[in-house]
Amino acid sequence: MGQHILVAGIVALEMTYRIDAFPLQYDPVRYPFFSLGSSVSGGAYNVARALSTLGDDVRCATLLGRDAAGGLVRHTFALEGLSQDFALESLVDTPHSLILYDREGRRQIHIDLKDVQEQTYPEEHFVQALRGCRLAAVGNANFCRPLLRLAREAGVTIATDVQTVSQLEDPYNQDFMRAADILFMSHERLPVAPSEWIRQVRERYGTGIIVVGMGEEGALLSVRGDPAPLHVPALRGLPVVSTVGAGDALFACFLHAYAQSNDPYQALRKAVAFAAFKIGTAAGASGFLTEAELEQLVQGPLGERP
């Protein structure tokens, strides 16, 4: 049975472009038929849609523009059955992103946040969105910073993904790292090995659950009070088109499974499989499995682990 989960953060209009290779060779004009795509994405939407596909009741607190892109976002929310009650049109322009990806699945992300980092989200709307939720997935956008206190005061479990963090005392992400009960991040810019980084994060912030996503190497999970981190290797044998959105998929599926079972280890095993399937598609918010499909993948031959 699905859980009531609040997701807060950035929603954007995303364009994807499959290129032959990095670096991109200069040409004045190109005609890459069937290599360009556009869709709604952004961290909050990716997580919200993944959770909704898995069967959860999701509320998405975000800021949109009063432009054509904002209208497309609202239309997409309606098509996907996501509530628009907490998607507020307080921007002039909706954030945009451009994703370049090659035939090996590597990606380069260009994000134009417009002026969303200078905006605030009305606290009364967020408090209303929190009602009945046991978990809040709070993105690290500036407008989410004051919302951490509201979630804490409501007694809601806070989960956040600080993505490519590289400093323990990161001036931008410190508030989110301090507030999180469940903290996700990428290994890509860590100054030390993931296991050592996890030790330092727990010593500094006392976080209950820490997950480091490690791309093709899988993910590393540490639970406060347990003796050693668990490494869950990546699922092999599935096609790779683009790795964009893999971290959002890992994060979302973990939250879904953990909210159901309260077992972080089983939750990460499912999340790694969920993310492995998702990267067989190009867009950040595509390729999500239903819960039944995920169970079939995990129980099948590809999901068998030594």
pLDDT tens digits, 185-231: 999 999 999 999 999 999 999 999 999 999 999 999 999 999 899 99
Q: b/e map of 24-58 (b: 16 or more CB within 10 Å)? A: eeeeeeeeeeeeeeebbbbbbbbbbbbbbbbebeb
pLDDT band for position 301 (cuts 50, 70, 90): confident
**Is the distance from CB of 9 to CB of 126 less than 8 angstroms?**
no
State the pLDDT confidence band at 306, using cuts at 50, 70 and 90: very low
> Domains in the chain, please, with CATH?
4-19+35-303 (3.40.1190.20)
- The residues, any chain, with a CB within 8 Å of residue 33's CB and separated by 6 or more, are none
Checking if the pLDDT of 159 tops 90, the result is yes
pLDDT (tens digit per residue) in 31-46: 999 999 999 999 999 9
Q: What is the pLDDT of residue 1?
A: 54
Q: pTM of the prediction?
A: 0.94
pLDDT of residue 296: 94
The length of the chain, given as a count of residues: 306
User: What kind and span of H or E run contains 111?
Assistant: strand 107-112
| Spatial separation of the C-alpha atoms in residues 232 and 84, rounded to whole Å | 36
Two structure tokens written together for 124: 């009364």
